[in-house]
Amino acid sequence: MVGKNIIAHRGIFDNKKIPENSLSAIKKALNLGYSIEIDVQLTKDNKIVVFHDYTLERMTKEKGFVQEIEYSKLKSITLLDTKEIIPTLNDVLKLVDNKVLLDIEIKNTKRIKDTCNTLMRDLENYNNYILKSFNPKIVHFLKRFYPNVKVGLLLKKNYSNKIISSLMRSNFILKYCKPDFLAISKSLAKTKKYQKLSKKYPTMIWTIESDDDTSCDDFIYICNIRPKKN
């Protein structure tokens, strides 16, 4: 896994004509041969959908929590001012068809068992992917029940309070969830602690704004890639 590799963060989008995490954004990244990062969560009726936010407000004209709504309603909602709809993970898997790596972030949830088991059923006949989450309980569950799957722990600089921040950066968390790799924010990448950890764990950095940034060739990059202007 180690080495420079561009991953299109939520696909290639502009959130005008091409919404993030939409099939159009994913197709654009696929056509350029980039690996693709997507976000997934479980709907009320147990469908894995590709959507970043916990609520609908920013990306649609509707309101409500994605995880509390049935997909039969979600699929009628368009993204921003486009005709794109919220795709299911199966829609994305069919489109990408193992052609590039899918980097799948599992959003936080109280339904860890249902989310992970449903996700793994969707991925049963798929092989070109890795998983990651900010929630160490999700990483722990997957490594316990699906030990052969590559799962990473996401880490950031700022958490809701100092106790959580300290805990998330402790060796205890790493021993607890046993991640295969770390995915850390750019602000943590040059700290001594994470430079040391990068020698033990394959490490991805998010989010680099340009694919010309090659300051850390030992890392895999997750890049915010925007459509190039003609």
Q: Say yes or no to pLDDT of 168 above 70.
A: yes
Please give the angle made by the CA atoms of 54, 161 and 108, to the nearest 5 degrees.
25
Alpha-carbon distance 71 to 48, whole Å?
9
Which one of 28, 52, 132, 140 is the catalytic residue? 52
pLDDT digits (tens, 9 = 90+) for 187-224: 887 788 888 888 889 888 888 766 555 445 445 566 66
Q: What pLDDT, on the 0 to 100 scale, is given for residue 25? A: 97
Q: How many residues does the chain have?
A: 230
pLDDT, average across residues 104-123: 98
52 is catalytic: yes
Which one of 7, 8, 9, 194 is the catalytic residue? 9
Token pair, residue 180, equals: 């295969």
**Rounded to 5 degrees, what are φ and ψ at 129?**
-155, 160
Give residues with Cβ within 8 angstroms of 96, minimum separation 6.
26, 30, 36, 102, 128
140 is catalytic: no
Q: How many CB atoms lie within 10 A of CB 197?
A: 18
**Domain coordinates in residue numbering, the chain:** 6-223
pTM of the model: 0.91
Strand pairing report for 35-42 and 203-208: unpaired
Q: Is the domain covering 6-223 a CATH 3.40.50.10490 domain?
A: no
